Amino acid sequence: MDAATWIAAVSIFTAGLTIAIGSIGPALAEGRAASQALQAIAQQPDAANTITRTLFVSLAMIESTAIYCFVVSMILIFANPFADLAIEAARQAAGG
């Protein structure tokens, strides 16, 4: 079961690393946008509605890159095509 083990180990390590590294950028970017929105509200309270709306659209857009990473991470753990092939091959070898 050596091939499947290698692929599993690489998948686990990559899944964790992907979401870990992939959350740095979006988090910092959301923090920047949110902090600027708060400053903008303090500076121009009358425009709070426009600012909040623009903020949430932007946060959603930034969050999307974190979600790409989360999706790839989940695919690698739960729907990994290479791992499926390797496990199937290992089963056939064991059953053959």
Binding to a second copy in span 12-51, by CB under 8 A: 12-48, 50-51
CA distance 50 to 33: 14
* Using rule CB under 8 A, residue 88 touches a second copy: no
Smallest distance, Å, CB 81 to a second copy? 7
The DSSP letter of residue 44 is -
Asked if residue 81 lies in contact with residue 11, where contact means CB atoms within 8 angstroms, the answer is no
Q: Output the CA angle 9-13-16, nearest 5 degrees.
A: 145
Per CB under 8 A, which of residues 58..77 are in contact with a second copy?
58-59, 61-66, 68-70, 72-73, 75-77
* Using rule CB under 8 A, residue 95 touches a second copy: no
